[in-house]
A and B are shown apart, each in its own frame.
Chain A
Amino acid sequence: MRRWCMKDFQLYELPAMEEYLKRMAQKGWMLEEIKGGSWFIFQKAEPQQLTFSAEIVGNMSILGADECDEALDYRAYCEQAGWRFVCANRLVQIFYAKAGEEPMAIETDEKLKFDSIWKQLRKVLLLQLPLCLLWGCYLFRKPISYTGFLENDSEWFSRIILLACLIFLLCGSVRVLRWYRKGRRSLKKGEKVSYYGERGARLYKLLDYGLLLAVIGGFLLMVFHDYALGRKGTALYNILYFLCYLGLLLPLCGWIRKRGFSKSAYTVTVILGAVIFTFAAAMLFMMLRPLNEEHAEPEIEEGQLLTLEALGIETENEPFIRQGKSIFGSMQEYWGSQSFEEGSCTLDVWYYRSKNSWLLGKIKEEYVEWNRKYDNGVHILRSVENSRDLDGIQISHLKETTFDVDGSILEEEELGYLLEKEGAFCYLSFSGKFELSEEEILRKAAEEL
């Protein structure tokens, strides 16, 4: 009988791994192999009192194969000294000895062991640093437009995933650095370096798994949300892209474990591998993109959008429509025009609906309530005036005033109307000849808000 357990021990938590394996052997579970770095596979055996030793091969490449020369030599030395080899997990070699055998400890030089572990951890930290910077820049960048939060869920979702990944990486890095600082201090005092035990490792893993659950939960939420909104193409696209990504990543990791790279090829391999992997992921993205675009737009209930047709005008031109829904609310943007012999008419109407007043305020600031100063000193201000109430909806005129460098007014322009109620606002502008009066058009726009 076999038993699979998911565990993740860092290089500075090897004593925790030894404690864990010892405890499992006492319960009658003997480690057989470790798959994928975190899956510990145990075989049912008689309960035994065993001593485990998990050590790293200091001169092995971090991308070295499990069966590389360095690892095989290391195992041979330990086996000659009386240790029995169990399995390897990349750099980590796991040995055991039966009660009463008591072979010599594998590592007897504290400083050498500490330096070997730090050398490998330092490489990982150096790889993580550019990743952290890249993710940090993406996470804290200003959104191209706040309306993206209403259009679909990818804007907020990608930030949540990145935030979780960033916290995960930063917590890990801080933990490594703390261990290094404590270790250095201990060595200076001539004391033994302390490694995180099983209890400490378990506490940290709770955070690990919490973040992992947040990412998976967020992903599922997004998929179900897309599906519920009728964006079946997007939901399918996200699932397929995720699976394909894993499909690329897992064989790549497996191949590295089997074949490995020599130390000299390390930097070139990491850079080349990252480029090839990114390229392959981008290709997948492009291949699956049509799936996303097809049926990407949610089905918005009929009558929610004011159009030229709704105002009794038959249009030949394709109007511009952008609409979407997210967990924060919904948005619709419409611009249509029609030319006649005696002139033309245009309708420009934007609806934004959200219960989140902060987000709604930001969108309003971005589109409607401008207060911008340009490099040449010209200052443009958009303001509302002549507000009135129409069936519980506040209607105001929107005006744009351009000020010169000395503060004098250069230009004043009537932009249209701003319709507001709790949790929604609408910008409306129309020109040309309509069968309906201005008041009737306003009333129709207000009905859809």
Chain B
Amino acid sequence: MPREQFQNLTEPMYYILLALLEVCCGVDIMDLVEEISGGRVHIGPGTLYTLLAKFEQEQMIEETDREGRKRWYRITEKGKGFLREEQGRLERQLSDGLRRMEGRL
């Protein structure tokens, strides 16, 4: 998958990567995303499956364990790089917004 697709991570993508800072399996990721976002972001199982497959293909996450159809994943260094880039972008976006709103720009 081309890197451009991950230039701006969507909200579900961002939270899934955040959740995978610790080793998690499918349902745990869904619960963890809800917990991290304070119940604001929900990720359906189909969406989660598709995004995990994309992340794995791009080596942004790696499989750590498998039990039947249940798989555990964790974020890779490449994935963390994307996450940091996204956080930097969001911070810049927020500070630009604040400065403009406060009339400093």
Residues of A whose CB lies within 8 Å of any CB of B are 55, 57-59, 70, 72-74, 76-78, 80-81, 83, 104-109, 111-113, 116
Residues of A within 8 A of B37 (CB): none
Q: How far is the CA of A292 from the CA of B48 in the complex (A)?
A: 58
Majority DSSP secondary structure for residues of B touching A: helix
Q: How far is the CA of A77 from the CA of B68 in the complex (A)?
A: 12
The answer to whether A108 and B69 touch across the interface, beta carbons within 8 angstroms, is no
Closest residue of A by beta carbon distance from B50: A58
Closest residue of A by beta carbon distance from B52: A77
The answer to whether B49 and A73 touch across the interface, beta carbons within 8 angstroms, is yes
Q: Interface digits, B43-74 against A, CB 8 Å rule (1 contact, 0 not)?
A: 11111111101100000000000001111000
Q: Can you offer 8 A-B residue contacts whose CB atoms are under 8 A?
A: A55-B46, A59-B54, A73-B49, A77-B26, A80-B70, A104-B30, A106-B44, A108-B47
Closest residue of A by beta carbon distance from B57: A59
A159 CB to closest chain B CB (Å) equals 44
Asked if B10 is at the interface (CB within 8 A of a chain A CB), the reply is yes
Known: A74-B49, A105-B42, A109-B10; 13 extra A-B contacts, CB below 8 A, are A57-B49, A72-B69, A73-B71, A76-B69, A77-B49, A104-B42, A106-B46, A107-B44, A108-B12, A109-B44, A112-B50, A113-B46, A116-B50
Asked if B21 is at the interface (CB within 8 A of a chain A CB), the reply is no
The answer to whether B53 and A59 touch across the interface, beta carbons within 8 angstroms, is yes
Asked if B27 is at the interface (CB within 8 A of a chain A CB), the reply is yes
B100 CB to closest chain A CB (Å) equals 22
Partner of B45, one of A80, A113, A116: A80
Closest residue of A by beta carbon distance from B46: A106
Task: Evaluate whether A107 and B26 lie within 8 angstroms (CB atoms) in the complex, with A76-B69, A112-B51 already known.
Answer: no
A290 CB to closest chain B CB (Å) equals 54
B47 CB to closest chain A CB (Å) equals 4
